[in-house]
Structure 1
């Protein structure tokens, strides 16, 4: 497979009379864009709001983020989701960098929704504070789940994907400012210089815990609760084969934007043929029962061993119950002779003294920590809230609460907030964005 991504670097986003891109400035015709979004009868009211790095703006509740792109051949960005089921990972597409399209609730939030501060201390806790975020702020007629803590958020998530495709069309006929080429020679056809290097596979444990369909990550449109571990070309991940779900606590989730730009995959690509032989990606699931967890671990280990992997990078989306999958997979890989390094967050409590993972094992002795989900954050007011502030405590957002006997409500009268890191949108950045480190005291 050969994937070519032509990049356009967005320095500013404005509203104007036409949809266009020129010299770093993206212009959006707001009325036309909203008319396009409102073609979906499920969306009953909508607005588009722009949030830029450094602005005194707080975005909540955020449900999803996507990179705006367009395929040169006219195919959809997310096969099996926003269009027909076709092969991802091969061909040419254009991407608008330094920005995202966000799905934001105008009123109702849920357990898997999160928050981004565009400035101040809170901006350090999410990669998305560094991007210009085009926020689709909308309400839907999905009244059956408005007051449910767990929401599928289907209409808003699909609306943001469609908006990302719509915005991407503005660069379809232009010449990219740079190009990235992602191409791997088939494993059995590689030269000796490459095959003599340590062979490494990337194992992605994508979220699939909910047995009721509609909450989990989707693989080519297929609910990942219904999948088994499978070997995939890394280009497929970068090219929209997986979209993020709406289930996990927000800091630990992987957005679709994360999948499209997955830093660990790109880093493995950059080292391929130099320090390692990048075999590809094993996409695994995170199901609920012990039998399902053990079955997935056996599949992963068998695939890695059959590929001839010397080492693996293992990353889990989520924490708590998925820790059992993470450690089971870790041990199965080690038992198969595949040296493994894990990437995960921790849940060590607000005081940082609790056991970091629900399950531990001596074989899991090389883990990169991406921070404590329960860390308390005290953040000052922002001048503007995009979305609805009250959702933090009212709607069961992970890391927020209506009242605490010691800390009081998450949202103070002056607009300041007390939350757990859990609430920060994709804040743990297990996919590889994370700047967090461990300090020994």
Structure 2
């Protein structure tokens, strides 16, 4: 399976008469773009606002991030979401690079929403502060969940995907510079050359969010709710090419946005090393479960698949913390018991003082874990000149990491627009998918 991604870097954005791309400049016909957004009758208000790196702008509540993509021959960009269900991961895909489409609530936030600062102290906490962001700021009439802490945010999230697909049509007839083309190809496992086959074999085990038994909150694979999926072997190209879609439920610093799946740095790094230092087998897409029996069953499946593939080692990563830690450690144990040397990648929940147990479940076999940060760490940020969305949502709407009042700290949102919050509210801040901006500090 061979995938070619032709990248067109976005250096500047503007509105104009025609949606087009020319030498780094993305021009958007706002009226036409909003028509695409408003195809869902539940969207009552919508606007598009730009947020560039270094600008004095704060974006909240952010629900989703998507890289604009166009599939050659009008193939599926997000199968099962914006398009019919069809195979992805091969052929040619065109991408608007150095930018993302952000789905932003106009009034009401959710447990899984987050915050992005485009400059200042807050910018260092999230990868998305360094991108040219096209913010879809929208409100809906989804009254049934307006006051719920956990929201599906279906209308806004799906509109974000439709908008991303529409924007990428700007490059559908263009050819990318040769140096901007990425190629991803793996030979079938049983048909690789001797040099590659003799290298240590590594599999990447991903545990995307899938704990909600009610549909509509979890990550999707080909439009299918991950709560209904057992561990499955996937080609890494499928993940890079739109097969995986982010869900709405997960404390935000621990989330994987759709953008993260599309650009998964761990997959890309494994590709770089394939045939040089490792034999990259592919991806085991697992799940996160509610009850213990389901967790144990999934761990058995993961270990069996890894062993059957001939994996010598595995990188294991979870989307989330708390209850998912039991899945993470259970899978760790099962892989090690099967003789697969495993390295974990996760954040931790050690409390505001950093002194609590980092994971809900632990085991001696999980002796190699890379931490991407503490979800409970307090972050204080000064006011920003411009707020995209509504700042009060951080304190009012139950965002993980924000609060209306605290005996010692008061409200997360101060009268002057400054804020105090837990890292939990930083949009995809811990980047567990493999590109955390954080480093370790030794005391």
The question of a shared fold, defined as TM-score above 0.5 by the shorter chain, is answered with yes
Whole-Å separation in 1 of the counterparts to 2:438 and 2:332: 22
**Structure 1 residue 82: deviation in Å?**
1.1
User: Could you list the per-position Cα deviations for residues 318-358 of structure 1 after superposition, in whole angstroms to 9, with x for gaps in the alignment?
Assistant: 00000000000000000000000000001000000000000
Partner Cα distance (2:37, 2:440) in 1: 44
Distance in 2 (CA, whole Å) between partners of 1:283 and 1:401 is 34
| 2:351 pairs with 1:352 | no
The CA distance in 1 between the partners of 2:254 and 2:3, in whole Å, is 28
Q: Cα deviation per residue 1:194-238 (whole Å; 9 max; x = unaligned)?
A: 011000000000100000000000011110001100000000000
- 1:74-153 correspondence to structure 2 within 5 Å: 74-153=74-153
Counterparts in 2 of 1:401-416, with a 5 A limit?
401-416=403-418
Q: Quick one: distance in 2 between partners of 1:39 and 1:341?
A: 44
Quote the offset at 1:440 in angstroms.
2.5
Q: SS in structure 2 opposite 1:123? A: helix
1:419 pairs with 2:421: yes
Partner of 2:26: 26
Cα separation, 1, equivalents of 2:441 and 2:352: 17
Whether 2:370 is the aligned partner of 1:384: answer no
Counterpart in the other structure of 2:306: 304
Q: Find the residue that maps to 1:359 and give its secondary structure.
A: coil
Matched, 1:162 2:162: yes
Q: 1:184-203 maps to which residues of 2 (within 5 A)?
A: 184-203=186-205
Aligned with 1:370 (options 368, 372, 385): 372
Residue 126 of structure 2 contacts residue 437 of structure 2 at CA under 8 Å; is this kept in 1? Answer: no
Matched, 1:339 2:341: yes
Report the 3-state secondary structure (helix = DSSP H, G, I; strand = E; otherwise coil) of the residue aligned with 2:282: strand
TM-score normalised to the size of structure 2?
Answer: 0.99
Cα separation, 1, equivalents of 2:92 and 2:14:
27
What displacement does 1:16 show? 1.1
Specify every segment of 5 or more residues in structure 2 that has no aligned partner in the other structure, as ranges: none
Q: Is the 8 A contact 1:217 1:244 kept in 2?
A: yes
Structure 1 residue 76: deviation in Å? Answer: 2.6
| Aligned residues of 1:54 and 1:118 also touching (Cα < 8 A) | yes
CA distance in 2, matches of 1:40, 1:299: 39
Q: Give the structure-1-normalised TM-score.
A: 0.99
CA RMSD of aligned residues (A): 0.6
Q: What is the CA–CA distance in structure 1 between the aligned matches of 2:45 and 2:396, rounded to whole Å?
A: 21
Q: Is the 8 A contact 2:125 2:437 kept in 1?
A: no
2:51 maps to which residue?
51
Residue of structure 2 equivalent to 1:326: 328
Shift of 1:38: 1.4
Residues in 2 aligned to 1:40 and 1:371: alpha-carbon distance in whole angstroms: 37
Distance 2:108 2:259 in 1: 22
- What are the ranges of 5 or more consecutive residues in structure 1 without an aligned counterpart? none
CA contact (8 A) 1:5 1:95 kept: yes
Tell me which of 420, 424, 431 is aligned to 1:429: 431
CA contact (8 A) 1:369 1:437 kept: no
The alpha-carbon deviation at position 436 of structure 1 amounts to 1.6
Instruction: Give distance in 2, aligned partners of 1:39 and 1:350.
Output: 43
